């Protein structure tokens, strides 16, 4: 007789297992979203599943496609999905079933208010259409997902959805300087104006900050917090259009001049978003710690960046103008106002201007004299005048390059994260430039049998330096903001000008070797004339780019 209770116990466990896992009819778990699988506990590791929604905004009666998806080649055999209010545990709204082998359940006395499985087959993705009920402000989709009978994850959640019918009580300047910190460009502008880029922060008694941002953009507006006025190691919040053309808030971290890496939204509550006549607006509360270095928390003193730019299929692209940035570190918990302008840091401008002068002016002139003007043999301080000009101009070029090189490292306080190509090429140019005059100092005499080795090395090294320097100038100018990238195009025009003059001078040199000219005086005059034309054209390009750098 003692065997019968054991048999009944085994049968009870068997039937409870079969009924609670394979067919999804688990109405008893509506409140907790936990399966009735004995003593199994939810996994604490990050879930290999995600919930995606077709829109982050809704009106009553709107239909939102909700998809539960397995990530990284994972799968699931069971699930229970519902919509709920923020902080609530009651199902709201109703689903329309569209994926085979899924079913609607009755929770909170509402038909199809939750969705579950009907079999134990492995699944990679299921979808359902949620119909929004009236009188909802915010909603989030939450699910328990079962990898197998004992391994499951609870509270797998989507991002927060916001009712489009909510009034937008955001991006207002009325209490700037009294109750919240505000930063805008132009200074003191009204965020309702299309030419105003605006952000505000307000410390909350419950912890965290309420952030607002707005601006005219066809892609995104973003705010960043940094320990310095240069991009890199910045905590960023992005208000932008997603792949479904709806406005959503994203959290990201910037490592430099590359696209910021997306982070988990974390403890963020979306208050309102909108996109009207090109004006993007977001208002949200964040209780995340602000991180200005990976894994390191900061205080409330930061340089604040305000950027805007295009996006493609929900992916932000590089901003076309340098971000607006505060003049110094500011306390985002304070009640003050700041105005910002888009401006490249002065030390970076100095670096760019010096490199530009070195390799578009002095360096180019020194090379032209060495290759094409050796016929000017008048002595100066015991040496031919062409040699003296070449020597001192190139020495000046190396000195200017060294100063600009040091300024770059001082500005970045180390290696330039996110601008590796520009930095690497710059280092190569610096090393080759340093050794060029050093090797020339130990050059053999003109009568030496080894002189030709020096001549070839000196010429080829100079050519490599010039090509790399011009390439690096292109990369550097791409980092600066200019309408329609006119500075990069101007640099392209300068390179074309140099190539044209080099061809003309080479033809002139070839004609000299064929003794087309009757006298040396005519030779010198033609070369000086070409030099003056070259200098005038180059000076125009250099001045244009220096002005552009100054205004960047």
DSSP string, 351-420: HHHHHHHIIIIIHHHHHHHHHH-TT---EETTEEHHHHHHHHHHHHHHHHHHHHHHHHHHHHTSS-TT-H
Please name the fold of domain 17-163: Immunoglobulin-like (2.60.40)
pLDDT at position 115: 94
Q: Would you say the CATH fold of 181-342 matches that of 17-163? A: yes
138: which 2 tokens?
A: 């915010």
Q: Are strands 49-53 and 102-107 parallel, antiparallel or unpaired?
A: unpaired
Confidence band (pLDDT; 50, 70, 90) for 413? Answer: low
Confidence band (pLDDT; 50, 70, 90) for 408? Answer: confident
Residue range 353-362, pLDDT digits in tens: 999 998 888 8
Taking Cα atoms as reference points, which of 272, 285, 268 lies closest to residue 204?
A: 285
pLDDT (mean) for 411-426: 72
* H and E: helices and strands count for the chain: 8, 31
Confidence band (pLDDT; 50, 70, 90) for 20? Answer: very low
Write down the architecture of domain 346-551 according to CATH: Up-down Bundle (1.20)
Q: Is the pLDDT of residue 14 over 80?
A: no
pTM, two decimal places: 0.51
Residue range 227-258, pLDDT digits in tens: 887 777 889 999 998 877 788 899 998 876 67
Per-domain residue ranges of the chain: 17-163, 181-342, 346-551
Taking Cα atoms as reference points, which of 220, 257, 255, 261 lies closest to residue 234?
A: 255
- How far apart are alpha carbons 302 and 168 in whole angstroms? 28
Residue range 448-496, pLDDT digits in tens: 888 888 888 888 888 899 999 889 888 888 877 666 678 888 999 999 9
Q: Is the pLDDT of residue 17 over 50?
A: no
Please name the fold of domain 181-342: Immunoglobulin-like (2.60.40)
pLDDT at position 271: 84
Residue range 112-171, pLDDT digits in tens: 999 999 988 999 999 999 999 887 878 889 999 998 888 899 889 888 787 766 554 455
Q: Are 129 and 66 in contact (CB under 8 A)?
A: yes
- How far apart are alpha carbons 481 and 319 in whole angstroms? 8
């Amino acid at each position: 007789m003692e065997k019968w209770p054991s048999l009944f116990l085994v049968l009870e466990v068997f039937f409870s297992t079969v009924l609670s896992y394979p067919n999804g009819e688990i109405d008893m778990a509506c409140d907790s979203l936990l399966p009735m699988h004995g003593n199994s506990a939810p996994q604490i590791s990050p879930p290999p599943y995600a919930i995606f929604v077709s829109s982050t905004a809704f009106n009553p009666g709107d239909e939102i496609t909700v998809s539960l998806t397995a990530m990284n080649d994972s799968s699931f055999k069971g699930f229970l999905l519902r919509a709920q209010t923020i902080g609530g545990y009651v199902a709201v709204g109703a689903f329309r079933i569209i994926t085979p082998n899924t079913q609607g359940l009755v929770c909170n006395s509402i038909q199809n208010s939750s969705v579950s499985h009907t079999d134990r087959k492995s699944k990679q993705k299921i979808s359902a259409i949620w119909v929004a009920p009236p009188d909802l402000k915010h909603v989030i989709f939450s699910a328990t997902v079962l990898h197998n009978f004992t391994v499951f994850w609870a509270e797998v959640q989507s991002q927060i959805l916001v009712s489009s019918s909510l009034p937008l009580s955001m991006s207002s300047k009325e209490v700037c300087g009294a109750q919240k910190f505000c930063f805008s460009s132009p200074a003191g502008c009204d965020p309702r104006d299309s030419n105003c880029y605006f952000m505000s922060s307000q410390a909350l008694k419950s912890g965290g900050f309420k952030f607002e941002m707005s601006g005219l953009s066809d892609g995104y507006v973003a705010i960043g917090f940094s320990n310095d006025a240069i991009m890199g190691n910045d905590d960023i919040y992005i208000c932008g259009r997603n792949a479904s053309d709806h406005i959503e808030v994203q959290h990201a971290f910037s490592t430099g001049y590359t696209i910021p890496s997306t982070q988990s939204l974390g403890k963020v509550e979306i208050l309102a978003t909108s996109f009207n006549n090109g004006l993007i607006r977001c208002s949200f509360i964040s209780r995340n710690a602000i991180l200005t270095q990976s894994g390191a928390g900061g205080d409330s003193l930061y340089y604040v960046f305000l950027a805007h730019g295009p996006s493609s299929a929900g992916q932000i692209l590089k901003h076309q103008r340098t971000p607006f940035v505060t003049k110094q570190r500011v306390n985002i918990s304070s009640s003050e106002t700041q105005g910002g302008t888009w401006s490249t840091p002065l030390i970076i401008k100095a670096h760019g201007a010096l490199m530009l002068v070195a390799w578009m002016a002095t360096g180019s002139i020194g090379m032209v004299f060495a290759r094409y003007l050796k016929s000017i043999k008048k002595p100066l301080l015991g040496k031919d005048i062409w040699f003296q000009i070449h020597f001192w101009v190139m020495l000046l070029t190396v000195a200017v390059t060294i100063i600009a090189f040091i300024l770059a490292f001082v500005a970045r306080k180390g290696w330039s994260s996110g601008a590796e190509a520009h930095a690497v090429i710059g280092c190569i140019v610096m090393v080759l430039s340093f050794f060029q005059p050093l090797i020339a100092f130990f050059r053999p005499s003109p009568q030496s049998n080894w002189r030709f080795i020096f001549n070839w090395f000196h010429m080829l090294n100079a050519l490599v330096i010039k090509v790399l320097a011009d390439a690096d100038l292109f990369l550097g100018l791409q980092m600066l903001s200019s309408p329609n990238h006119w500075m990069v195009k101007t640099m392209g025009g300068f390179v074309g000008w140099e190539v044209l003059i080099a061809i003309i001078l080479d033809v002139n040199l070839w004609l000299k070797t064929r003794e087309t000219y009757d006298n040396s005086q005519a030779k010198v005059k033609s070369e000086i004339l070409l030099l003056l034309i070259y200098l005038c054209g180059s000076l125009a390009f250099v001045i244009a780019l220096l002005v552009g750098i100054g205004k960047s």
